[in-house]
Amino acid sequence: MSDKTAEGLKLDAKKSGQRVGLTSDEIIINGGRPLRGRIEVRGAKNLATKAMVAALLGKKKSVLRNVPNISDVRVVAGLLALHGVLITRGKNDEWILDPSNVEVAHAPDIDAHAGSSRIPILFCGPLLHRLGEAFIPDLGGCRIGDRPIDFHLDALREFGAVIEKLPSGISLTAPNGLHGANIELPYPSVGATEQVLLTAVLAKGQTELRNAAIEPEIVDLICILQKMGAIITIEANRVIFIEGVEELGGYNHKAIFDRNEAASWAAAALATKGDIMVGGARQEDMMTFLNAYRKIGGQFEVLDDGIRFWHDGEALKPVIIETDVHPGFMTDWQQPLVVALTQAEGVSTIHETVYENRLGFTSALNKMGAQIVVHEQGLDDGQRRVMRREFEQAAVITGPTPLHGAEVEVPDLRGGFSYLIAALAAEGQSKITNLGIISRGYENFIEKLRKLGADFIFEA
């Protein structure tokens, strides 16, 4: 996009203080400036939402702290309220969840409210325990694959749930209650592991879960359940053992920080040749990311209250990254990092092994000057933690390629953030639309960009 387009003229108007007529779902960014400064990363989107659902299992109030102000949290809060959970905010911004009057919500209300989230599927176990029934609408979430729930439904049947498929979702009952089960997941699915944990803790008897996900957010959820009175053991080689108990209380918990947001800002520091202190980030949960960051030539310093990430002015180096389950390189980290790799001197490869369509976002980066080829068949690379799956893809990124401004539409959460990074790194002006998706998982990102010195127009 050249500077003297209609947008460029709009910018002149903006400087004179007039509004330029953007919707609240779009932003104009003037790139080419390094991001510098400090931002705070708070609770993880992929833990806080599950912790809120866990409160349904308790007979007492729960308190969740460090909750991010993101739309995924608000959607889950709305769903809990629909089921009679009383949610109030404490004086230190903590969320207080009182499940004492849980009731069945009306299906149309749930359907209308759950739209963009995948979390409703995790209500199954808690609602079956509390009410003996549940209705779960068809799920939303990022379009990065067909996102099936077969592992979830198979596990629920093992616990004794009866599931009926309806036109707009699924209806579940547990005519004989829920009992412990022996479950082996075909793949270490985060959601399916959470489904088993949230169901097994109050099921009669013992549950053994094999090939479980063991991400830090999963361990944090287990800490929450243990605080409520659950008995859960994380054994070696992805085995989790749960002894069902009669009753659970409440919890008081500070949510683990958001590793995905922290990694996104780290990638932004690299791509814009900047220097960002990410308050709240913890080394032990980001070690694989930090190793890759170092191999690319990114600098980082671990402090007690966060991690500082910066570009030292030297040429970035190409890398080969394969996404994997924890403790591998998280699939959520690759999209923002791809933008930095477009500036590396050489050919990098991102082999996406978790989702079947998480490289589509690269076409818009090519529109901005990147040189990325996506190979549908992925790479064949011998031994891996988990089975190879036929839909794997690989992106081959040739750099360095100067990026120039363009008009692009946000496709999904992490791809959207990578477009922000690309626009900030590009020379010239970009316009990004469908911005709302980013607020699903990045708390106050507009304010953070402003604090880091980004040059943009956004009209809330």
For the annotated catalytic residues, the residue numbers are 142
Q: Quick one: which segment of 99-107, 150-158, 226-234, 365-373 binds ligand EPZ (CB under 6 A)?
A: 150-158
Cα–Cα distance, 39 to 59 (Å, whole number): 37
In terms of phi and psi (left: phi > 0; alpha: psi -120 to 50; beta: otherwise), the region of 160 is left
Return phi, psi of residue 200, to 5°: -70, -30
Residue 459: CB minimum distance to ligand EPZ, A = 27
Site membership for ligand EPZ, residue 301 (CB under 6 A):
no
236 SS3 class: coil
Residue 440: CB minimum distance to ligand EPZ, A = 8
**Hey, which residues does 98 pair with through a beta bridge?**
86
> Tokens representing 456?
């943009």
Percent of the chain as helix, strand, coil, to the nearest 5? 35, 25, 40
Q: Quick one: which segment of 92-100, 143-151, 222-230, 376-384 binds ligand EPZ (CB under 6 A)?
A: 143-151
Site membership for ligand EPZ, residue 331 (CB under 6 A):
yes
Instruction: Give the residue, chosen from 187, 287, 377, 459, that forms a contact with ligand EPZ under the rule CB under 6 A.
Output: 187
Residue closest to ligand EPZ, measured at CB: 191
Residue 213: CB minimum distance to ligand EPZ, A = 6
> Tokens representing 118?
């995948």
Q: Where are the alpha helices (DSSP H) in 148-213?
A: 150-158, 190-200
Site membership for ligand EPZ, residue 142 (CB under 6 A):
yes
Instruction: Give the residue, chosen from 414, 422, 429, 446, that forms a contact with ligand EPZ under the rule CB under 6 A.
Output: 414
Contact call for residues 394 and 358 (beta carbons, < 8 A): no
With CB under 6 A as the rule, give the number of residues binding ligand EPZ: 25
Nearest 5°: CA angle at 225, between 126 and 95? 80
Site membership for ligand EPZ, residue 259 (CB under 6 A):
no
Beta strands per DSSP E along 101-156? 133-137
The owner of tokens 């931002």 is: 39
Site membership for ligand EPZ, residue 148 (CB under 6 A):
yes
Instruction: Give the residue, chosen from 3, 12, 103, 150, that forms a contact with ligand EPZ under the rule CB under 6 A.
Output: 150
Site membership for ligand EPZ, residue 42 (CB under 6 A):
no
Residue closer to ligand EPZ by CB (options 316, 438) is 438
What would the x/- binding string for ligand EPZ be over residues 345 to 374, using CB under 6 A?
Answer: ---------xx-------------------
Site membership for ligand EPZ, residue 289 (CB under 6 A):
no
| Footprint of ligand EPZ on 151-170 (CB under 6 A) | 151-152
Site membership for ligand EPZ, residue 147 (CB under 6 A):
yes
Q: Considering all CA atoms of the chain, what is the largest pairwise distance in Å, rounded to the nearest integer?
A: 70
Residue closer to ligand EPZ by CB (options 275, 332) is 332
Q: Which of 205, 192, 195 is nearest to 231 (CA)?
A: 205
Strands 299-303 and 252-254, bridge-based pairing:
unpaired
Site membership for ligand EPZ, residue 254 (CB under 6 A):
no
Instruction: Give the residue, chosen from 26, 39, 46, 161, that forms a contact with ligand EPZ under the rule CB under 6 A.
Output: 46
Burial group, residue 84, by CB count within 10 angstroms (0-12, 13-18, 19+) = middle
Site membership for ligand EPZ, residue 308 (CB under 6 A):
no
Instruction: Give the residue, chosen from 84, 145, 369, 400, that forms a contact with ligand EPZ under the rule CB under 6 A.
Output: 145
Site membership for ligand EPZ, residue 149 (CB under 6 A):
yes
Site membership for ligand EPZ, residue 224 (CB under 6 A):
no
Q: Quick one: which segment of 139-147, 263-271, 368-376, 392-400 binds ligand EPZ (CB under 6 A)?
A: 139-147
CA dihedral of 95, 96, 97, 101, whole degrees rounded to 10: -150
Site membership for ligand EPZ, residue 191 (CB under 6 A):
yes
> Tokens representing 398?
């040739």
Q: Which of 51, 211, 203 is nearest to 122 (CA)?
A: 51
Q: Quick one: which segment of 7-15, 182-190, 402-410, 421-429 binds ligand EPZ (CB under 6 A)?
A: 182-190
What number of other Cβ atoms are within 10 A of residue 205's Cβ? 13
Amino acid at residue number 16 = S
Contact call for residues 451 and 39 (beta carbons, < 8 A): yes
Cα–Cα distance, 213 to 201 (Å, whole number): 17
Binding site for ligand EPZ (CB under 6 A): 45-46, 118, 142, 145, 147-152, 187, 189-192, 213, 260, 331-332, 354-355, 413-414, 441
